[in-house]
Structure 1
Amino acid sequence: MASFPKDLFDDLPKDLVRVGAHRAPKKRGGGWIGFAWAALATGVLVVGGLFTLSLIDPSVRFEIPGLPAPAESVAAPTEEPTPTALPLTDPATIDPARLITITVLNGTPVAGQQAVAGDALAAAGWPVGTTTTASTSDVEKTTVYYSNPADEDIARGLVGALGVGEIRESTAFLGAPVTIVLGADYTPAP
């Protein structure tokens, strides 16, 4: 084993508590300061994120316990607007440049309703693209959704062809210009 010559650092006084600058004793409570800063940063990020979310989507509301909820304005019921488009009753008159495809979704607990409705509409000449089940099976009313106001006439014609339903303009179904969500009120024609 190698031995090194002694120098002045080998003869330290016995009453010296520290052995090196990097081995200073930890301060009491020093960990709480870091924890407090982390908690503060987390709180600021969460509150900022929730505030941003409430600005993006007005349907998201956060109520603070102990504070009164803001008064909601209740809109007066409005009458059904008068139709702006007449129902298109002959699907053969649909201009091919409109690129209309119809998606049929089954929102009923009865399996296969989407195929029955889709086949009936296709047999009548309607451009049915996709038939599948909806994300829920407890839809009560059949609804025909259209994303472009120019397609309202087709939506009204489909309600007439199905014999049931209501129309609604919505951008919820962007995969097809017209989407039918079958509800429990739909009964196939015999």
Structure 2
Amino acid sequence: MASFPRDRFDDIPGGVDRVGAHRAPGRRGRGWIGFGWAVLATAVLTVAGLFLLSTFDPTFKLPFAQETPTPTPTPTVVETAEPITDPLAVDPEYLGQLTLAVLNGTPTQGLSNTAGDQIAAAGWPNPSRASASNTEEPTTIVYFSNPDDEGIARGIAQLVGASDVQLSDAFPIAAITVVLGEDYVPPAPAG
């Protein structure tokens, strides 16, 4: 075996417990630094994920975010107009452009069809029919969005037995919207 001359690197000073590439013992508490970075990264990723989820899913609400109240449309009180009960009293061109809707605000199925048929049979334009988002409406109300339609709305309210007529822009689907409540009484069947 070949022998090499001794040099200064062959002598290890006494009292050093080093082995291999280890230079010095690690500092105390150094493991907490890595743990802190991991906690910070987890928190940032969690908040970012919740934020992205809330932007893509409108039904998801952040548990720590304050919910901003949405303003409810307030009905406007207007002077009472005389009810127009006869569709022939309305300008035929205007009547042809008039849109009506009937929303069932009760748990009873089919009431919007019954009331819609009742309105159409009286000579008014055939209304669209659907269920309301709230099926626990106590009273039947007729909403109109144009103050000029108040007389027509009052005539339709008399026809279906609505307890109130209100000017409101809460229902943009039609110029006049009938929301049926628990007090709605369907007409007796003919015969």
Q: Name the TM-score, length of structure 1 as normaliser.
A: 0.61
2:82 is the counterpart of 1:86: yes
Cα distance change of structure 1 residues 135 and 27 upon mapping to structure 2, 3 Å threshold: same
1:115 and 2:113 correspond: yes
Q: Give the AA of the match of 1:184.
A: E
Deviation at 1:100, TM superposition (A): 1.2
2:70 corresponding residue in structure 1: 57
Q: Distance in 2 between matches of 1:87 and 1:38?
A: 65
* Structure 1: segments with no counterpart, 5+ residues: 1-12, 19-25, 60-79
Q: Tell me how many residue pairs correspond in the alignment.
A: 150
Q: Which is higher, the Rg of structure 1 or of structure 2? A: 2
Residue equivalent to 2:54: none
Q: Distance in 1 between matches of 2:65 and 2:131?
A: 35
Farther off after superposition, 82-91 or 138-147: 82-91
Q: Distance in 1 between matches of 2:147 and 2:39?
A: 56
Q: Aligned equivalents of 1:115 and 1:135: distance in 2?
A: 16
> What's the counterpart of residue 31 of structure 1?
35
Aligned to 2:6: none
**Compared with structure 1, are the counterparts of its residues 35 and 162 closer, same or farther at alpha carbon in structure 2 (3 Å cutoff)?**
same
> Normalised by the size of structure 2, how large is the TM-score?
0.60
Instruction: Please state whether the residue corresponding to 1:140 is helix, strand or coil.
Output: coil
Of 137, 160, 164, the match for 2:158: 160
Other structure's SS at 1:28 match: helix
Deviation of the 1:142 alpha carbon: 0.4
Report the counterpart of residue 170 of structure 1 in structure 2. Answer: 168
- How far residue 48 of structure 1 moved from its aligned partner, in angstroms, is 10
Deviation at 1:113, TM superposition (A): 1.8
Runs (5+) with no aligned partner, structure 2 = 1-17, 24-28, 52-61
- String of CA shifts for 1:158-181, please: whole Å, max 9, x gaps: 111122321122222211111111
1:128 alignment partner, SS class? coil
**Aligned partners of 2:140 and 2:161 also within 8 Å:** no
Q: Look up the match of 2:143.
A: 145
> What is the rounded CA distance, in whole Å, between the counterparts of 1:83 and 1:185 in structure 2?
25
Distance in 1, Cα, partners of 2:85 & 2:37: 73
Percentage of matched positions with identical amino acids: 37
Mapping of residues 89-100 of structure 1, within 5 Å? 89-95=85-91, 96-97=93-94, 99-100=97-98
The one-letter amino acid paired with 2:145 is S
The one-letter code matched in structure 2 to 1:133 is S
Partner of 1:5: none
